[in-house]
Structures are given as structure tokens and as C-alpha cells.
């Protein structure tokens, strides 16, 4: 899973702390990328992580980003070399992405073009230096010379090339689907090309415009007062719903949606939320627009979007990672943060159990499998079926909700004393304390009536229309549908020594005591060999396995990236598979210990927590909670401890620099990630503690607890 798919609805203040030896030399803000929308060519999932980017550009199904050193990152569709032919090396100053081709401007003003060349939009690129801006449309390219004259090349349908305005004094160009815009020095706009929806003829005649952006059949312009003018095709309100007011600083127009950046760095999006022809295979362009401030640039592709900002989290501390099919936000809606203990994947929804026993649910909700999730703590396990969900309470009673096909919800047993629940597509199972099994719901092929009788079972698993159970001796029982080409029942392995079972759509998996995997039913030939696996999960047509080092192996059908997008890191503790999406739970990484010494304020004792390893190149996150709201706060850092009295409390770190000043949120929280660089010797202590202005505290200042980590 990539943070881009998550929408980054929660903002962080991202600072790079560079420690050389024992002294800080600089504190720098890093610009990172968030992307959202259609991902059929990995133009979202493939978004590069990290900071140090200065510009982004979005094309038909590919994206570009310019790094601080002038080198280019490219990702997404590559059918015409728009990724693989990206020029290497530094020295570029601007990038532009068209439907299937790209442009880049060198520091000497010369242009490099690559990708699709059906109309000469690459091969006819002008030679020589002296250009100041480039723009790429569907099949046409534009460049602005230093004297303000325009050069165009590529497809000349609708006069895109031949009707290019002549003369000097232009300051910006933009190329759309089949029309182009140019801004004059006086703030007036020139438009040419296709005019089927008024995207040319309705161009405003006024002056004092400062930026233009051409979309598919849409045009946008930014006025000097920060208000927006839009004209052209009004599909899905992309014109009529243009935001009112001033204070906008940048615009971007896509195929059916548009973006605008406010002065505070927040993003406004409007227009169609899905692709117009095949909405079921696209992802939201508007509703997935990230919240928060701190963004510095936006870019629209045909059906996806990008934003560049200084406060984008990389998800490194999120315990749940999801990937694969996202048609119902079962990936994008994955909850952030930590304190989760178990995950479960359903048809197109997911569940997660928190450490306090409460449940988080997200994804498809047409049957209430998300919105009817029970509230409150005290649950010990969750399970998800096609359209229904189950949860086990601490007393062993079961709660179920969602789609009630065949009584899979309404026939849930009322007793207590159950120890495990499992969900198939439309049937459910539960294990009693004596090891006997109860099942209910769909019984089309004996999923219920053929349930084995008697005690002595230790685990149950539900598949599409079949079930598995593990006996205490490690032998397996299977029942339900046994399709003639599958054998998910009849091919069940004999013998003992199995430790876990998992049931998918028409396949089954089992884990042996040596950690090797057995698969049967409708299986793929690439089930991993060897021992050392610790956990299994099976979806409709894909499977997951967890190695002892916490790394994940995925195999099977990959139509939505449920296999190829599996994370490559280690340190995961559980895997779960839904219909066409996957989840994994990551162990909470913390190198920090609580050093105490909090000083109470109006909200009690402000709590500081630290996560992340203190290893060069890794991320550290300092998270303050339970503090006064919208209050000035200073973060004290030390490389040793020398406790001193401070404002009625005790300041634990021995500060080596002035405190880093921030303001708590309206919830009394601050999250600050740091990047650890080279230079700290093994054994060095790093101390942190917050001081927060708080009228109810001693001397008007509350102190958080201090935390301490040691460089390994």
C-alpha cells in the first residue's frame, strides 16, 4: 500500500532534522507528493515517496515530478515509453505531461520530449535553447520563448498548430484536450482549437488574469484577486460548480474535474467524481481530494490528480496497510495511526479491531456492513463475509450485522462462550469453548447442514461456499461446495500436523507445522514453496502468506493489484484477504521509553509518545495529545538528560538548540515527524519533551512527559 491511496486526510507537519555529529546544522521542510483518482496504470500507487520534489505534472495515465536536483521521476502508463524513456540526470527546471507524451525544460532553455509521437508531438520538438515554459496537451505541444512568443507542434486538427497566436508578450501557455490557452502580459487570454462546448469562443475578454489552465473541453483562468473564471463543457458541474470567492492561488483542469489551491495551501476540487464512460473501473477524483493545508501545487491528469505539499505523511507509522481493489474505498478509507490488533477483509469492506476492543469498519456499505458496526469497546475478534460482518465479545457472545442473505445475520446464535468466529461469502461459523462448531446462513451445498459434529476443533475458516476446520491433532475437515474443476473439498490433504487453515473463493490453504503451505481447489501454480511461513489468508482469487521475518508473499489473480501491490517491507504480524483487496497489520515500531515528569494543565497531563527507529534514514514521529487546544508549544530536544526546574515542573532534556515552536490543534494534538540522518554514534540518547502554554497550569505552562530513545 502506498500513502497516496489513502488520501492523506490527516495532516502532519513534516520537518527534516539533520544531525551531524552532535549538533543540528539545518531544519528543512520537504515537499512530498500525494495522488488520488484513477489508478488503472499505477499512476496513483506508483507515486514516489519521500520529499525534495519541486513540481508535479499529470498526464493521461502517467505522472511526472521534478526533484530539487533537477532530475525527473516518472510513473504510470508506459505503453509508449512515457516512463521508460524519461531522460536521466539533473539539470531540468520544468516538466509537462500530455495524454501519452511528456516534455521537460532544461536549465539552458532547451526542450526534451518523449513518449507517444503519433502526430509529431515528440519528433517535431524545436531545437535550441531560450525557451521558458512547456505545455503538453492530448496530441499537441507548446513552448514559450524568452521573448514571449509561442511555438506549437504536433496534431493540427482544429488549428491547434496553424492557429497558434503570433507575436510576443505571452507569459504562460496551457494545452488541453483539443484546445489551447495563452496568457498575455497584460492579463488577457488567447484561446484556439476545438470549440464544440464554448471552451474557445466563451473565453472572457477581460484583463487582469494571472494563470490559465486547459482541460478536456474546459477552460479555467485565475483573476488577480484570486477568483476563478471557468467556461466550456459543464459535464458534472465542472463549470457551474466552480468555487466562488477570492484567495485562490493556482488552478488545474482535468478531463471531467478541476482543482484549485487556496492561499492557505488547502485544495478545492469539483466536477465529476468518476470517469464518465466506465465509472465502475475508476476511482474518485473529487471526494478523495486530500484535506488539510500546506499544499503548494496541484495538477490534474485525465482521471487522476496530484498535489505537492510540505505536510504529507508517508504512512510509515500506520499499522494497517491495504492494497488492491478500491472500488468502494476499501483501500483509500483504511484508518490511519496505530493501536490495532487484528484486521479482516470482506467482499469490498474491511474491519479492524483496536487495542481497546472497539471496531473500525470501512468500504462498501450498501447493506450496513460498515454503518451498522457496533460501537464501543469489549470485542476480541472480527470477521468479514461478502456483505456481512461478525464480532466476538469478551464474554464469547457474537454480534453480526450487514447483509442478511439466508439469515446469515438474523440467525446468529445468541449464546455466550464462543471462542472464534469466521465468515464465508453468505454463511458464518463459530467455535465453542469445547471445540464444537456452529454454522448458519446459506446452505445451498451443505455449508451449514454438513458441518462436522462433535468437539475437538481448534479453528474454523469460511470460503466462498465451503468451510474448513482444524482438529486438535492438526488434521483438516472440509465441507460445502466442491466444484468438479476445483476440488476444494475432495482434495483436502489427509494426515495431521497442520496448524492453520484459510478458505478463499474456490480454494483452500493450510499451514504445516514446519511453516510450509499446502493449497488445493482452484489454485494458481505459484503457491510459494519452502518453510518458514506463519500466517495465511485467501481472497476470492488471490492469497497471502506471512514469513517469519514479517514480510508478505502474495500470489493469484492480480486484476486490481491485490498481488503486485503487496508491500515489500518486513515487520508485519497478520495478513487478511478480501474479495479483490488485501490488508496487513504492522507491528508498532517504537524505540522510545517514557521518562516521566509530566506537569498537569487544564486537560490533565499532556502525553508525548514517540514511534520509529533511531536509525539513519528512518522516520521518527513525536505525537503530543491531551494538551491545551490551539496553544503555543515548544518541543525541547536533547542528546542527554540534565533535569532542571522549569515553570513549576522539571525539564528533562539537556537542550542543545532552541525549542521548535508549534501550535496545538483544536484537539490538543501535535504530530511531528523527523528524519534521522547520519552522525549519531551508537548509544547516543535522544530526549524530547513539550512545554505548552496553559492558563490552568502552574506558571501558565504545562509540561508533557519526556521520552528517551537510544541510537542502536
pLDDT tens figures, 142-186: 999 999 999 999 999 999 999 999 999 999 999 999 999 999 999
Together in a domain, 551 and 621: no
Spell out a b/e string for 30-41, using b for 16 or more CB atoms within 10 Å of the CB, else e.
bbbbbbbbbbbb
Under DSSP, is residue 105 helix (H, G, I), strand (E, B) or coil? strand
pLDDT tens figures, 179-211: 999 999 999 999 999 999 999 999 999 999 999
Together in a domain, 581 and 606: no
Flag whether pLDDT at 387 surpasses 60: yes
The answer as to whether 358 is a domain residue is yes
Give the residue among 227, 146, 132, 232 at the shortest CA–CA distance from 181.
Answer: 232
Domain count, the chain: 3
Together in a domain, 661 and 607: yes
Pairing of strands 507-512, 498-503: antiparallel
pLDDT tens figures, 610-638: 877 777 766 778 888 888 899 999 999 98
Together in a domain, 555 and 456: yes
pLDDT tens figures, 587-600: 765 578 887 777 87
Rounded to two decimals, the pTM is 0.75
Return the CATH number at 366. 2.130.10.30
Return the CATH number at 621. 2.20.130
Flag whether pLDDT at 1 surpasses 90: no
**DSSP labels, 168-233:** S-EEEEEE-SSEEEEEETTS-EEEEE--TTSTTTT------EEEEEE-SSEEEEEETTS-EEEEE-
d(CA 70, CA 104): 10
pLDDT tens figures, 64-95: 999 989 999 999 999 999 999 999 999 999 99
Residue holding cell 478531463?
Answer: 255
Residue 3's φ and ψ, nearest 5 degrees, are -55, -30
Query: What's the domain range around 173?
Result: 31-58+127-309
Secondary structure percentages of the chain, helix, strand, coil, to 5? 5, 45, 50
Residue 686 pLDDT: 87
The answer as to whether 565 is a domain residue is yes
Pairing of strands 552-556, 572-577: unpaired
d(CA 420, CA 459): 7
Pairing of strands 320-324, 581-586: antiparallel
Together in a domain, 627 and 691: yes
According to DSSP, residue 612 is labeled B
Kindly state the average pLDDT of the residues 527-539.
96
The answer as to whether 572 is a domain residue is yes
Together in a domain, 342 and 300: no
Flag whether pLDDT at 282 surpasses 80: no
Flag whether pLDDT at 19 surpasses 60: no
Cell of 302: 485525465
Distance of CA 121 to the CA centre of its chain: 34
Under DSSP, is residue 140 helix (H, G, I), strand (E, B) or coil? strand
97, 104 Cβ separation under 8 angstroms: no
The length of the chain, given as a count of residues: 712
Domain closes at, from 309, 329, 348: 309
Flag whether pLDDT at 30 surpasses 80: no
Give the residue among 467, 470, 521 at the shortest CA–CA distance from 498.
Answer: 470
Residue holding cell 490511519?
Answer: 336
Distance of CA 333 to the CA centre of its chain: 9
Together in a domain, 443 and 302: no
Domain closes at, from 251, 278, 309: 309
Give the residue among 169, 171, 131 at the shortest CA–CA distance from 153.
Answer: 131
378, 350 Cβ separation under 8 angstroms: no
d(CA 671, CA 247): 28
The answer as to whether 8 is a domain residue is no
Pairing of strands 542-547, 533-538: antiparallel
Together in a domain, 153 and 270: yes
691, 659 Cβ separation under 8 angstroms: yes
The answer as to whether 288 is a domain residue is yes
Residue 26 pLDDT: 25
Flag whether pLDDT at 283 surpasses 70: no
Spell out a b/e string for 459-478, using b for 16 or more CB atoms within 10 Å of the CB, else e.
bbbbbbbbbbbbbeebebbb
Domain closes at, from 272, 287, 309: 309
Amino acid at each position: 500500500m502506498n500513502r497516496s491511496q489513502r488520501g492523506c486526510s490527516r495532516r502532519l507537519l513534516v520537518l527534516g532534522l539533520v544531525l551531524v555529529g552532535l549538533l543540528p546544522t539545518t531544519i528543512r521542510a520537504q515537499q512530498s507528493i500525494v495522488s488520488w483518482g484513477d489508478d488503472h496504470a499505477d499512476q496513483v500507487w506508483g507515486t514516489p515517496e519521500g520529499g525534495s520534489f519541486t513540481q508535479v505534472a499529470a498526464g493521461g495515465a502517467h505522472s511526472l515530478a521534478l526533484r530539487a536536483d533537477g532530475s525527473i521521476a516518472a510513473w504510470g502508463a508506459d505503453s509508449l515509453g512515457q516512463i521508460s524513456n524519461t531522460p536521466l540526470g539533473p539539470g531540468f527546471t520544468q516538466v509537462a505531461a500530455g495524454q501519452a507524451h511528456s516534455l521537460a525544460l532544461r536549465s539552458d532553455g532547451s526542450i526534451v520530449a518523449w513518449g507517444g509521437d503519433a502526430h509529431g508531438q515528440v519528433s517535431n520538438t524545436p531545437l535550441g535553447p531560450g525557451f521558458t515554459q512547456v505545455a503538453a496537451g492530448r496530441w499537441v505541444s507548446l513552448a514559450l520563448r524568452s521573448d514571449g512568443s509561442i511555438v506549437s507542434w504536433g496534431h493540427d486538427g482544429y488549428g491547434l498548430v496553424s492557429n497558434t497566436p503570433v507575436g510576443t508578450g505571452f507569459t504562460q501557455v496551457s494545452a488541453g484536450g483539443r484546445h489551447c490557452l495563452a496568457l498575455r502580459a497584460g492579463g488577457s487570454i488567447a484561446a484556439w482549437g476545438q470549440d464544440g462546448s464554448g471552451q474557445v469562443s466563451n473565453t472572457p475578454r477581460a484583463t487582469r488574469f494571472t494563470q490559465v489552465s486547459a482541460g478536456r473541453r474546459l477552460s479555467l483562468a485565475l483573476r488577480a484577486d484570486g477568483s476563478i473564471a471557468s467556461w466550456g463543457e459543464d459535464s458534472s458541474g465542472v463549470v457551474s460548480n466552480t468555487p466562488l470567492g477570492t484567495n485562490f492561488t493556482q488552478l488545474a483542469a482535468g478531463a471531467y474535474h478541476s482543482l484549485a489551491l487556496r492561499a492557505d495551501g488547502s485544495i478545492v476540487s469539483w466536477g465529476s467524481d468518476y470517469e464518465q464512460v466506465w465509472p465502475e473501473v475508476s476511482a474518485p477524483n473529487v471526494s478523495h481530494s486530500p484535506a488539510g493545508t500546506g499544499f503548494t501545487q496541484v495538477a490534474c491528469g485525465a482521471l487522476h490528480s496530484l498535489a505537492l505539499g510540505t505536510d504529507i505523511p508517508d504512512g510509515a507509522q500506520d499499522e494497517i496497510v491495504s492494497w488492491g481493489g478500491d472500488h468502494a474505498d476499501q483501500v483509500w478509507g483504511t484508518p490511519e495511526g496505530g493501536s490495532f490488533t487484528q484486521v479482516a477483509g470482506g467482499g469490498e469492506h474491511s474491519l479492524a479491531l483496536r487495542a481497546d476492543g472497539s471496531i473500525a469498519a470501512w468500504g462498501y456499505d450498501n447493506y450496513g456492513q460498515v454503518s451498522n458496526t457496533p460501537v464501543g469497546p469489549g470485542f476480541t475478534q472480527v470477521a468479514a463475509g461478502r456483505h456481512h460482518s461478525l464480532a466476538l465479545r469478551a464474554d464469547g457472545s457474537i454480534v453480526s450485522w450487514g447483509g442478511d442473505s439466508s439469515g446469515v445475520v438474523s440467525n446468529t446464535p445468541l449464546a455466550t462462550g464462543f471462542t472464534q468466529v469466521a465468515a464465508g461469502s453468505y454463511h458464518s461459523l463459530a467455535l465453542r469453548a469445547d471445540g464444537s462448531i456452529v454454522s448458519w446462513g446459506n446452505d445451498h451445498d451443505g455449508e451449514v447442514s454438513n458441518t462436522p459434529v462433535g468437539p475437538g476443533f481448534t479453528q474454523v475458516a469460511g470460503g466462498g461456499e465451503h468451510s474448513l476446520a482444524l482438529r486438535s491433532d492438526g488434521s483438516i475437515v472440509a465441507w460445502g461446495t466442491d466444484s468438479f474443476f476445483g476440488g476444494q473439498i475432495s482434495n483436502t490433504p489427509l494426515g495431521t500436523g497442520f496448524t492453520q487453515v484459510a478458505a478463499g473463493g474456490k480454494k483452500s490453504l493450510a499451514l504445516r507445522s514446519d511453516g510450509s503451505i499446502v493449497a488445493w481447489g482452484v489454485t494458481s501454480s505459484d503457491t510459494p514453496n519452502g518453510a518458514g511461513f506463519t500466517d495465511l489468508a485467501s481472497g476470492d482469487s488471490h492469497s497471502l502468506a506471512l514469513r517469519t521475518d514479517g514480510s508478505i508473499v502474495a500470489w493469484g489473480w492480480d486484476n486490481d493489484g491485490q498481488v503486485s501491490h503487496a508491500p515489500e517491507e518486513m515487520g508485519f504480524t497478520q495478513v487478511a484477504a478480501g474479495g479483490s483487496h488485501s490488508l496487513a497489520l504492522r507491528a508498532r515500531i517504537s524505540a522510545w521509553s517514557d521518562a516521566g515528569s509530566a506537569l498537569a494543565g487544564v486537560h490533565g497531563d499532556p502525553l508525548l509518545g514517540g514511534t520509529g527507529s533511531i536509525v539513519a534514514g528512518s522516520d521518527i514521529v513525536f505525537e503530543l495529545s491531551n494538551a491545551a487546544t490551539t496553544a503555543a508549544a515548544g518541543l525541547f530536544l536533547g542528546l542527554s538528560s540534565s533535569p532542571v526546574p522549569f515553570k513549576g515542573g522539571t525539564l528533562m532534556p539537556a537542550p542543545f538548540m532552541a525549542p521548535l515552536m508549534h501550535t496545538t490543534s483544536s484537539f490538543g494534538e501535535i504530530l511531528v515527524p523527523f528524519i534521522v540522518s547520519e552522525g549519531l554514534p551508537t548509544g547516543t540518547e535522544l530526549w524530547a519533551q513539550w512545554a505548552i502554554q496553559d492558563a490552568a497550569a502552574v506558571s501558565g505552562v504545562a509540561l508533557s512527559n519526556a521520552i528517551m530513545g537510544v541510537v542502536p
